[in-house]
A = this chain, B = another copy of it.
Amino acid sequence: MKSYQEAVQFHGHSCPGLAMGYRMTKAALEFFSTERAVDEEMVAIVENDACGTDAVQFLSGCTFGKGNLIFKDFGKMVYIFYHRASGKAIRIGRKSSFRTKLSDTQISSEERINLILTSPEKDIVQIEEINIPEPEYSRIFDTVLCEICEESVVESKTRKLNGKIVCIPCYEKQKKKEGN
């Protein structure tokens, strides 16, 4: 398991959000008795894009660039992990009692981080086994050349414009010119 200090190096700095993401992801990996995903063995569905998601990426190997980090913009400190080998999924969140403890305005950010890193897992996280369909594997599409800028673009992201196959930025630029 990667250490918190290593996660800090990836994120750039230490903060309560990263520490919480670290504990939540660690708990998830332990639940599945699994290591970091080399490829797409695990999928994380994150319900926010705050600091803790960098711990998700770093610890679990569910990364933005590998297609196994799915973002749902719900603003909730909740992660869902799907483990392909077992077909099991868990929904992991903070315990409300721990959230209340952290919201004490008398404690510093440093103390908050320490509290998160040192409290027993059962006091911090709440894990629920859930049933969800297996997420799709990420797909690789063919690329074509945009007929305006001549840069390569993934075929599934092209637009048709006056009989030409173009990329989205060229399409938008042209539409803006035309006043649409």
Which residues of A are at the interface with B, using a C-beta cutoff of 8 A? 10-13, 17-18, 21, 36-39, 47-58, 61, 63-67, 69, 71, 73-78, 93-94, 96, 99, 141, 143, 150-158, 167-169
B63, A168: Cβ atoms closer than 8 Å:
no
Additional pairs, 11, CB under 8 Å, beyond known A74-B157, A75-B157, A76-B167: A11-B63, A11-B66, A12-B61, A13-B38, A50-B65, A53-B64, A73-B157, A74-B168, A75-B167, A76-B154, A96-B150
B67, A49: Cβ atoms closer than 8 Å:
yes
A76 CB contacts on chain B under 8 angstroms: 151-154, 157, 167, 169
CB A137 to nearest CB in B, in angstroms, measures 14
A51, B74: Cβ atoms closer than 8 Å:
no
A50 CB contacts on chain B under 8 angstroms: 65
Q: Could you tell me the distance between the alpha carbons of A66 and B61 in the complex, rounded to whole angstroms?
A: 17
CB A82 to nearest CB in B, in angstroms, measures 16
A96 CB contacts on chain B under 8 angstroms: 150-152
B64, A57: Cβ atoms closer than 8 Å:
yes
A93 to chain B: closest residue by CB: B151
B65, A49: Cβ atoms closer than 8 Å:
yes
B11, A77: Cβ atoms closer than 8 Å:
no
B63, A36: Cβ atoms closer than 8 Å:
no
A17 CB contacts on chain B under 8 angstroms: 65
A126 to chain B: closest residue by CB: B151
A55 CB contacts on chain B under 8 angstroms: 65
A65 CB contacts on chain B under 8 angstroms: 11, 17-18, 21, 49-57
A152, B21: Cβ atoms closer than 8 Å:
no
B153, A74: Cβ atoms closer than 8 Å:
yes
A64 CB contacts on chain B under 8 angstroms: 49, 53-54, 57, 64, 69, 71
